[in-house]
Amino acid sequence: MQNATGPLSGIWLPLVTPFKCGVLDWASLQRLAAHYLTQPIDGVVLAATTGEGMTLDPSEVSSMVDIVTEVFDGALPIYLGVSGSDTRKVVSAVRQANRLSIDGYLVTCPYYTRPSQIGLSRHFEAIANAADRSVVIYNIPYRTGVNLSNDALLALAALPSVRGVKDCCADVGQTGDLLARRGPDFSVLTGEDALFYTALAQGADGGILASAHIETAAFADVYARMTAGDQPGALLAWRQLSYVPQLLFTEPSPSPIKYWLCRQGLIESPEVRLPMTEVSAELASRIDAEVERRVAA
């Protein structure tokens, strides 16, 4: 289990939220949690982007946390995805969620409004002050429309509750600068699945990876080889694995992941909530072929 105060590292899973006939599928969620408890992951994030968190009601989020907490029984840390463009509402949501059995929050930059760096800083300061547990900042400008600068991020890192960043800035130079300047207790976890090896080679501490729903052990192996100093072995392992995120992000996530998990029997339905839609017949056929190939191997 991750240390409660030390740096975050390794493979973190932004868990999908299973649905069936328009409602949460509790049996599938329990099955998922039990499965990934046996896999080499270092933590999970609930109700984030991959978990379709923006479509979930507060009561659904609370029930999800209760179910996963019961299955994990303290074996793995649980973070909760939080997002919004109104700082007051996000702060209120965090204060409400402080009552849940979670270890921290993954908080996105406010989307659409495109505030200044000062506005972003004050937004995260307010959230960090409201949270009574750890905060990981999620910087993903191609979704939110605003890029949190390294200067602003590293200033926020001085706040006691801010422990790291999920880095999806999509700028290798910005990531490299961040890794060179961050302190020893501030974690940088990539959220760019296709760039996982590259991020590790730059010095990232791990990743929050939707693709790690599939081939979980293989993602963990890349990480383990890199941290052991076996960069050639990590590169070889990555070359054998890199097709997985390419396939899973052929269409908007998490639909391909849910379809694959359904084919594996881990969830009963690949259903997603609008505006997301299920995978195309073409992609379903490609995933079917991969599942069948693995069964035959």
Count H helices, E strands: the chain? 13, 10
Instruction: State both tokens at 91.
Output: 């702060």
Instruction: State both tokens at 157.
Output: 């890192």
| 138 counts as catalytic | yes
Which residues, at least 6 apart from 31, have a Cβ–Cβ distance to it below 8 Å?
266, 267
- The CA distance from 27 to 32, in Å, is 9
Catalytic one of 36, 105, 138, 197: 138
Buried b (16+ CB within 10 A) or exposed e, 230-247: eeeebbebbeebbebbeb
- The CA distance from 185 to 7, in Å, is 5
Catalytic one of 36, 166, 223, 259: 166
Buried b (16+ CB within 10 A) or exposed e, 124-153: beebbebbebbbbbbbbbeebebbbbbebb
Instruction: State both tokens at 33.
Output: 């949690």
- The CA distance from 168 to 156, in Å, is 17
| 258 counts as catalytic | no
Instruction: State both tokens at 132.
Output: 């009574």
Q: What is the dihedral of CA 39, 14, 184, 108, to 10 degrees?
A: 180
Count the Cβ atoms, other than its own, within 10 Å of residue 3. Answer: 9
Q: List active site positions.
A: 138, 166
